[in-house]
Amino acid sequence: MGKVKAKDVSRLKPKKKCCRKKTRCMKCPVVIMRMQKAEAKGCCGKELKKYLKVARAA
């Protein structure tokens, strides 16, 4: 898949089922949902990178 920018994660098509590994993948439905919420709050740039790190660590 290569590197995906934090601003593009919310537009990805999620997988059918969450893998629930310690570090979630980018296409995990949970990560995509959390990134959509962060964008709805009005976050951009470095804030989105921080939210992506937190969303994947959960």
- Separation of alpha carbons 54 and 35, rounded Å: 10
Q: Is residue 14 part of a domain?
A: no
Q: Is residue 13 part of a domain?
A: no
Q: Is residue 4 part of a domain?
A: no
pLDDT tens sequence across 1-58: 568 889 999 999 999 988 888 899 999 999 999 999 999 999 988 999 999 999 999 7
Q: Is residue 6 part of a domain?
A: no
Q: Is residue 11 part of a domain?
A: no
Query: In the structure encoding, which two tokens stand for residue 57, read together?
Result: 């660590």
3-state secondary structure of 1: coil
Q: Is residue 27 part of a domain?
A: yes
Q: Is residue 10 part of a domain?
A: no
pLDDT at res. 44: 87
Query: In the structure encoding, which two tokens stand for residue 46, read together?
Result: 């470095």
Which residue shows structure tokens 């949970």? 30
Split into its structural domains, the chain has a count of 1
Question: Domain of 48?
Answer: 19-57
Nearest to 30 by CA among 55, 57, 13: 55
